[in-house]
Amino acid sequence: MQNCKLWMITLIILLIVTKMAVAQSPIPTTLEGPFEPATRRFDPSLRRGSNDLPMDHPRLKKNVTLNFPEQIALAISSPTSMWISWVTGDAQIGKNVTPLDPSKVGSEVRYGKESGKYESVKKGVSVVYSQLYPFEGLLNYTSGIVHHVRIDGLKPGTKYYYKCGDSSIPAMSEEHAFETLPMPSQSTYPHRIAVVGDLGLTSNTSTTIDHLIQNDPSMILMVGDLTYANQYRTTGGKGASCFSCAFPDAPIRETYQPRWDGWGRFMEPLTSRVPMMVIEGNHEIEPQVSGITFKSYLTRFAVPSEESGSKSNFYYSFDAGGVHFIMLGAYVDYNATGAQYAWLKDDLHQLDRTVTPWLVAAWHPPWYNSYSSHYQEFECMRQEMEALLYQYGVDIVFSGHVHAYERMNRVYNYMLDRCGPVYITVGDGGNIEQVDVDFADDPGKCPSAGDNTPEFGGVCHLNFSSGPAKGSFCWNKQPEWSAFRESSFGHGILEVVNSTYALWTWHRNQDTYKEDSHGDQIYIVRQPELCSPSVKPSVSPSESSLSAALHSLVLSLSLPLLGMFSLLSSSK
């Protein structure tokens, strides 16, 4: 009964405040779905893509002396700890390269709550890696020294100032600052969560990142395919504009590793103050001899794998306020009998949705995709993992891989389902491979069953067993589970308002300088009373019924107010 009284008080307050709202919110909610599929086709007045920025571009070239830190990046470790990573020394590329000695330069972070006053000091680890190609005409690479320091004892929701480097040389960075995320709680959430994928280093990438910075995120989800260093020969030169046309005559897929260093410098103005949580994509595989893969990715990024009980940097989880994030690896074993699946099941089982009501998952290749590119490519992964994620009530799934934007209606097993996740593809960061413009339902654009073979895992392409596309590999119109799609570069911003709804906005690059402009916007609404995950607090039937009714009423009354506040607080 106490809960009922609180609900009634909340309802009365919202009624009074709503009366004061001047304008109705024009923003739709998922409660109004499923929506009729809509498509905004590629604007022919725009260019589909651009070449990569050269390594001597001011945002890519090195601007510190030998042992001073560069490529500084933050990553969330826990609500009270943060990873700080950076690189020192000069990378080498050539026939014969000698790795630097990591022990020659210390890994140290000094930090505190006041500018210039660093009350705490933490030391960490350092490592180097090599990308070796024992083939005629190919060059080898060995990195600078990569440093990782985990600073702890932090207070949630607090600004900290820090310097990193080696004070004994001395070679310390300039002062940087960041704000910690809130503690896990159903009443506290990150201010704005930026979501972006398939970035690369083109002029389009610059527009994406500059636009993202304007939106002032408190954290970043990077859903794979970071640098596109594997679009290059080991000798550098000009990058290839498509994955399949790069080096068809090479004995192994080459990479130009200095692109990683350029990317770290390019991102530092953002990542030195805003934590970026990454997951691997296919462009991070970068094979070497003896089956070595992902060497650069695994060395350069610190992620909370150990903190989340994972034994692999390929998959992990973390909390940011009342949101639990699960980052899954599509290019390592995802079978139901494997280690990743077992870890995922345990992680989901331990969730307390009264503390972290929102459950957001991310991996690189999308399961639901109506573009010709990568169509049904990771169907095997979907068949292995989808039921488990649905069982535990995942709310939103972010992916990249397809270089365009698409938002799905709530869906499960290709059927519209009000309890299914909202799948969103944001592989539109601006990379050299250009924006995808063909849809699988366009005449003559349906891939053949032998196309779109994944770099990892099997092929599980299927013909649909029910619905309008029954018996077919592709639909002859935009699928009913595809709510909106557009071929354009951009990024997304997720603003979690409370335990039941969040505002999702997709910003197109061409709208960078337009006030209050966006490509797509919707309130994603959770309905825990109707779509109960396996782990939830127990309530009586009468209490649950009343709660559901009040929830619907409060939501309908409060949306105008929330829409007004969101429009006032959102930047371009």
Amino acid present at 180: T
Pick the closest to residue 452 from 359, 370, 568 (CA basis): 370
How many whole angstroms separate alpha carbon 310 and alpha carbon 304? 8
Pick the closest to residue 494 from 456, 523, 451 (CA basis): 523
Q: Where does 227-366 have alpha helices with state H?
A: 258-271, 295-300, 339-349
- Alpha carbons within 13 A on the beta-carbon side of 283: 31
467 within 8 A of 415, measured Cβ to Cβ: yes
**Start-to-end Cα distance in the chain:** 44
How many whole angstroms separate alpha carbon 557 and alpha carbon 572? 27
Radius of gyration in angstroms for the set of CA atoms belonging to the chain, rounded to a whole number: 24
Which helix (H) or strand (E) covers residue 145, if one does? Answer: strand 145-151
Dihedral (CA of 412, 418, 420, 425) sign: positive
Kindly state the DSSP code that residue 517 receives in the 8-state scheme.
-
How many whole angstroms separate alpha carbon 272 and alpha carbon 146? 15
Kindly state the DSSP code that residue 138 receives in the 8-state scheme.
P
How many whole angstroms separate alpha carbon 270 and alpha carbon 205? 13
How many whole angstroms separate alpha carbon 407 and alpha carbon 522? 10
Q: Quickly count helices (H) and strands (E) in the chain.
A: 7, 28
Which helix (H) or strand (E) covers residue 19, if one does? Answer: helix 2-20
Name beta bridge partners: 140.
94
Q: How many CB atoms lie within 10 A of CB 537?
A: 9
60 within 8 A of 52, measured Cβ to Cβ: no
C-alpha angle 70-259-488 in degrees, rounded to nearest 5 = 110
**What burial letters (b/e) apply to 84-117, b meaning 16+ CB within 10 Å?**
bbbbbbebbbeeebeebebeebbbbbbbeeeeee
Q: Exactly one of 211, 374, 401, 403 is catalytic; which is it?
A: 374
Asked if 57 is an active-site residue, the reply is no
Tokens 């067993």 locate to 465
Amino acid present at 347: D
Antiparallel, parallel or unpaired: β 193-196 and 219-222: parallel
How many whole angstroms separate alpha carbon 87 and alpha carbon 482? 42
How many whole angstroms separate alpha carbon 399 and alpha carbon 278? 12
Residue 524 sits at φ, ψ, to 5 deg, of -90, 120
How many whole angstroms separate alpha carbon 12 and alpha carbon 486? 41
- Chain-centroid distance of CA 286 in Å reads 20
If DSSP codes are grouped into helix, strand and coil, which group holds residue 503?
strand
Catalytic residues: 374
